[in-house]
Amino acid sequence: MKSIHFVLAVSALTALAAAAQAQDVTTVIRAAKVIDGRGQTIANGDIVVTGSRITRVGARGAVPTGARVIDLGNRTVMPGLIDGHSHLTWYFNRQGRYHTARDGDTPIQSMLAAAANGAATLMAGFTTIQSPGSPEDKDLRDWIETQGLPGPRIITSLNALQRGSPDTLRMLVRQRKELGADMIKLFASASIRDGGAQTLTDEQIAAVCGEAKAQGMRTMIHAHSKESVKASANGGCWEVTHGVFVDQEALDLMAAKGTYFQPQCSLVFSNYLDNRAKYDGIGNYNAEGFAAMERALPLAADAITRALATKGLKITYGTDAVAGAHGRNAEDMVCRVQKSGETPMHVIVAATSVNAEALGLGSRIGSLASGYEADIIAVDGDPLADITTMRRVSFVMKGGRVYRNDGNR
């Protein structure tokens, strides 16, 4: 009996040691081109990963003893992408229609659909998303973070705020924080399908952004009209999303106040138009709404061109991915280069280090640098020469774990 106990004890210890080693395994990722997320490139670079962190980024060097090498050949490596605006809980049900609360799907079925959207997003190279937001995000966020569910890191507002007196809105901000929200989402204007005019007073907007700041939380404001964008910048809000109808004064004001601007280029509109039959007849997804989105396409691309020319304006990357768009989150990178005249490097930086900074995670993710989380992806080819290369993600590592590696082609 004694010897059996001894054997069991030894094998348990060996297993523990193996588990500890597995966590601290060193991996060298090498590729023809490395984009660091801050605007620099390295030819024939190495990224050394130990456990979940990056420990070295630089020119090809000696392989540490015992390290495994992942040679990505001609591929281009960069930090895991960040979509600052994605709604993972939006999906098409099995009848091929946009899911609503009354379509008969159970909460479990809805959560499985959200998990599938998370997996699709991760496989497309987006290792972090911000969701503004839905209460289901909380469990999805926590299961991805701690229970091994494949998906991006999730930063969530839980439900968005839409109405209430300034005092009520301040109370709702504090309540969201208690419920586990990472940030606050506020609707300050109508939907693009309803004209996009300001829906809250300047005082209500300032109440939300002021209280959130006092609570140490960031704010993201849905604002289309120039008036609502200006009220958000003047109210001390952190980030404005949409802004299809911004004028130069609103862009200059955001730059002066340090407000991050998150414009969409095409995916959100073209996805609705491509999937019209699946949305048609639900809420404001009607003839008028679809016509408004068609009209928005050139306006949105033009707003980005003007934003890029605005001195000092911090432009982030957020697609507003909804049902049908998950896994295609790189489409706005293509649009911003092809339709708005942004350089490929600039949009890659927007979707990595600038977005990380806008999420308050600038010292943890969004850059390939020593000490950062090992969120690393690769695309087949050179996105600086052809931005459509961003559609061909073939390697995904998040927190040191490889989720995808299609092999060299």
Binding site for Zn ion (CB under 5 A): 320
Q: CB 192 → Zn ion: shortest distance, Å?
A: 11
Smaller CB separation from Zn ion, 329 or 389: 329
Nearest distance from residue 380's CB to Zn ion, in Å?
30
In angstroms, what is the minimal distance from the CB of 318 to Zn ion?
8
Phi, psi of 216 (to 5 degrees): 75, 30
Instruction: Kindly report the length of the chain.
Output: 409
Q: CB of residue 60 vs Zn ion: minimum separation in angstroms?
A: 42
Nearer to Zn ion, 88 or 387 (CB): 88
- For 275-405, where are the alpha helices, taking DSSP H only? 276-279, 287-308, 331-338, 344-349, 355-358
Given a contact cutoff of 8 angstroms between Cβ atoms, the answer to whether 127 and 93 are in contact is: no
As beta bridge partners, residue 242 has 223
Given the complex with Zn ion, which of 30 and 87 has the nearer CB atom? 87
Residue position matching structure tokens 């998990």? 115
Q: How far is the CB of 320 from Zn ion (least distance, A)?
A: 4
Nearer Cβ to Zn ion (75/176): 176
Q: Which residue is nearest to Zn ion (CB)?
A: 320
β-sheet bridge partners, residue 398 = 401
CB atoms within 10 A of CB 296: 23
Six-digit token string for 98: 């946009």
In this structure, what token pair is assigned to residue 12? 């348990």
Closest CA to 326 of 152, 178, 192, 202: 152
Closest CA to 246 of 312, 300, 170, 203: 300
Residue placing its CB nearer to Zn ion in the complex, 320 or 342:
320
Distance CA 46, CA 35 (A): 11
Task: CB nearer to Zn ion: give 110 or 271.
Answer: 271
Please report how close the Cβ of residue 226 comes to Zn ion at its closest, in angstroms: 19
